[in-house]
Amino acid sequence: MNLQGLIFQKIEHRIIAGTVAFLAMMAIIGWIAINEPGRMASFEQQYLARSIERGAGLFASNCTECHGTDGRGIVGRAPGLNSPYLFGHDFYGAIDRETSNLEAELNNPNTTEERRTEIQTRLTELQTERAAIGQRLATVSTIPGYYDPESPSRLTNLAWGSTLYNFVYTTLVHGRPASSSYWGQPMAAWIQTGGGPLRPDEGQDIVNYILNWDKGEDWTVEDLLAVNQFPIRPVDPATVVSGDVETVGTDVAAIVAELPSFQGDPQNGMTLYQGALGCLGCHANAQIAPLTDGTWTRVQEVRLQDPAVQALLPEQTGEAYLAFSIVLPHDYLVPPYGPVMTATFGAQLTYQDLADLIAYLRSQDQPIQ
């Protein structure tokens, strides 16, 4: 075979062939670029679907004993997760938003009298609709636990500053040790990083399965009435770690002024930290929150040197920083962590509890890694 026959002899032909090849290659690359987002979206949907499927099996074998086979909770055992309350659905939301918009329009001096009449008529209708929903929601009071239709978000009532995904996952990580005071048995840690039996990816599958219950704006009052057990508010006296006594609140200056009157017990602080409060679940590794090991060293050598921290503290001491970070955990976030820490400890801890916790954390003075 004459190899020269396979090669374009004229330079013009070579240029044309090269141009055609280049254009063909660019067309292929363009086609891939155009279709890549769709391909990735399809892949992600398939991955999520498989994760939800795996999570369904894990939930059935590990969670139904307390949360029910349908996720609506078991009375006296654990709250419903397949619930509008967990997903923060507001049954009054659409009505209240429309009412607010109409009232703003009514107060606008440029609104015509004809339009004002229409607005008044519609406001009356909305009041009637809201009252009708309220009558139906009133029957929810027969379901055990806490639910207030005027404050319908579980995360808001917990002062949770992060996502629902993080809330469910971190609960799986460290459980709810303190829940033994108001449920028949406490929720154990389920993820290996918190001492539980499940791998982190299995925990993620369970979370995806639970989040798949969300109906968005399609939740109905019937869905709410189908819940068997609502959560118990963390500020109820039953949830106060040391009993129904005065708690520290969130006034850091007042807390810092009062703390020297209490002698901290590091052993009891460790018990609270590792058990009743569930702190170790997130602080056992650096994935969710800073490590417990070396806490006091980092406070002294890093945190107190940060101008942002200095501006927030009534006193430039390690005790003041720890008190501040426990009762107001979202006011200063240690990079790169998000606002995942429960913000209700001020309503749970007594001064003695807080003094004990700080005494324990003072013992965590390992060198910075």
Per-position DSSP letters for 160-206, written without gaps between them: --S-HHHHHHHHHHH-BGGGGGTSSSPBPP-BGGGT-SB-HHHHHHH
Question: Which tens digits make up the pLDDT trace of 228-250?
Answer: 999 986 544 434 444 446 789 99
Question: Which tens digits make up the pLDDT trace of 116-127?
Answer: 999 999 999 999
Q: In the beta sheet, which residues pair with residue 198? A: 191
- Say which amino acid occupies 142: T
- With a pLDDT cut of 70, the percent of the chain lying above it is 88
Confidence of residue 1 (pLDDT cuts 50, 70, 90): very low
Q: What is the mean pLDDT of residues 18-22?
A: 77
Count of beta carbons in the 10 Å neighbourhood of residue 34: 9
- Predicted confidence (pLDDT) at residue 6 exceeds the cutoff of 60: no
Count of beta carbons in the 10 Å neighbourhood of residue 206: 25
- Predicted confidence (pLDDT) at residue 3 exceeds the cutoff of 70: no
Question: What pLDDT does residue 134 have?
Answer: 92
Question: What pLDDT does residue 31 have?
Answer: 74
State the Cα–Cα distance between residues 291 and 193, nearest whole angstrom.
12
State the Cα–Cα distance between residues 349 and 257, nearest whole angstrom.
16
pTM over 0.75: no
Question: What pLDDT does residue 189 have?
Answer: 86
CA quadruple 45, 219, 87, 65: dihedral positive or negative? Answer: negative
Question: What pLDDT does residue 118 have?
Answer: 94
The CA–CA distances, whole Å, from 338 to 41, 282, 309, 344 equal 26, 12, 16, 16
Q: What is the mean pLDDT of residues 276-283?
A: 73
Give me the residue label for tokens 């003072």.
Answer: 362
Confidence of residue 37 (pLDDT cuts 50, 70, 90): confident
The 3-state secondary structure of 291-331, one letter per residue: CCCCHHHHHHHCHHHCHHHHCCCCCCCHHHHHHHHHHCCCC
- Predicted confidence (pLDDT) at residue 43 exceeds the cutoff of 80: no
Listed residue (340, 364, 169, 354) closest to 272, CA to CA: 354
Question: Which tens digits make up the pLDDT trace of 110-162?
Answer: 999 999 999 999 999 999 999 999 999 988 988 988 899 999 999 988 878 88
Residue 149: HSE in the Cβ half-sphere, 13 Å Cα cutoff: 19
Question: Which tens digits make up the pLDDT trace of 292-334?
Answer: 899 999 999 999 999 999 999 999 999 999 999 999 999 999 9
State the Cα–Cα distance between residues 308 and 312, nearest whole angstrom.
7
- Say which amino acid occupies 279: C
- With a pLDDT cut of 90, the percent of the chain lying above it is 52
Q: In the beta sheet, which residues pair with residue 191? A: 198
Question: What pLDDT does residue 238 have?
Answer: 39
Q: In the beta sheet, which residues pair with residue 78? A: 74
State the Cα–Cα distance between residues 224 and 83, nearest whole angstrom.
6
Question: What pLDDT does residue 358 have?
Answer: 93
* Under 8 Å between Cβ of 90 and 117: no
**Burial track 289-305 (b if 16+ CB lie within 10 A, e otherwise):** bbebbbbbbbbeeebbe
Question: What pLDDT does residue 85 have?
Answer: 96
Among 118-122, 211-215, 286-290, 326-330, the least confident range:
286-290
- Predicted confidence (pLDDT) at residue 198 exceeds the cutoff of 50: yes
Q: What is the mean pLDDT of residues 279-294?
A: 80
Question: Which tens digits make up the pLDDT trace of 57-102?
Answer: 999 999 998 899 999 998 888 899 999 999 999 999 999 999 999 9
Average pLDDT, the chain: 85
State the Cα–Cα distance between residues 90 and 69, nearest whole angstrom.
25
Question: What pLDDT does residue 246 have?
Answer: 76
Give me the residue label for tokens 């349908």.
Answer: 70
